[in-house]
Structure 1
Amino acid sequence: MIVEYIRYELKTHQPSELVEAYRLAAPQLEAAPQCHGYELSHCVEEPSSLTLRILWTSTEDHLQGFRKGPHFPPFLAAIRPFIGEIAEMRHYAATDVEWHR
């Protein structure tokens, strides 16, 4: 499993607009077999900073499967206005350092 983090630093849009865009885009993630979950969070200290966390089966499945598949065009259409406000978009592999209550 790979975790993609997309961090937004909004300068021209409101946080509520990004949240609504991802509400529209979410069904495409849910329908994609490569996606195993997602979460959009906003920073408490800086509300114009939001981070999307997406669980993918692998980086290759994300880039070659999802992005070249039928769910990507409508997903991209929903979030396209915010692309210029992405501060980071990277894939991460989890380590064995974790704890959950």
Structure 2
Amino acid sequence: MVVEIIRYDIAPEAADSFLQAYREAGEYLTRSAHCLSYEVLGGVEEPNHFIVRIEWDSLEGHLQGFRAGPDFQPFFARVRPFYSSILEMKHYSVMSRS
């Protein structure tokens, strides 16, 4: 399993549209056999910061499975308007968990 972290800086007037985009895009994530779970986190101290955390079965499952599959294009169409607001988009390994 790998975790994809996408950090966003979203202008306050775009926050509702951003959240709606991920509500719609989430349908395509949950349909993918490669996506184990996902969540959208909102900043408490910095309300314009959001994190999207997606658990993938593997790096290959994300990059070659999901991105090459039928759900990627409709997923990306929903979130594309916020692509320029990305601060970080990386994959991580879980090193410890409670």
Give the TM-score normalised by the residue count of structure 2. Answer: 0.94
Greater fraction helix = 2
Identify if the C-alpha distance between structure 1 residues 85 and 59 changes in structure 2 by more than 3 Å, giving closer, same or farther.
same
Give the aligned partner of residue 47 of structure 1. Answer: 47
CA RMSD, aligned part only?
A: 1.2
Q: Deviations over 1:16-73 (max 9, x none)?
A: 1111000110110010000000000100011110000000001111001100110000
Percent of aligned positions that are identical: 44
Paired with 1:13 and 1:23, the residues of 2 have a C-alpha distance of: 17
**Structure 2 gap ranges (5+):** none
- Asked if residue 75 in structure 1 is aligned to residue 36 in structure 2, the reply is no
Paired with 1:16 and 1:45, the residues of 2 have a C-alpha distance of: 18
Shift of 1:13: 5.2
Paired with 1:80 and 1:33, the residues of 2 have a C-alpha distance of: 22
Give the TM-score normalised by the residue count of structure 1. Answer: 0.92
Give the aligned partner of residue 6 of structure 2. Answer: 6
Paired with 1:84 and 1:70, the residues of 2 have a C-alpha distance of: 24
**Alignment length (residue pairs):** 98
Identify if the C-alpha distance between structure 1 residues 13 and 57 changes in structure 2 by more than 3 Å, giving closer, same or farther.
farther
Runs of 4+ in 1 over 3 A off after TM superposition: none
Give the aligned partner of residue 24 of structure 2. Answer: 24
User: What one-letter code is carried by the residue in structure 2 that aligns with 1:75?
Assistant: F
Give the aligned partner of residue 85 of structure 1. Answer: 85
Paired with 2:36 and 2:89, the residues of 1 have a C-alpha distance of: 18
The answer as to whether partners of 1:40 and 1:52 remain within 8 angstroms in 2 is yes
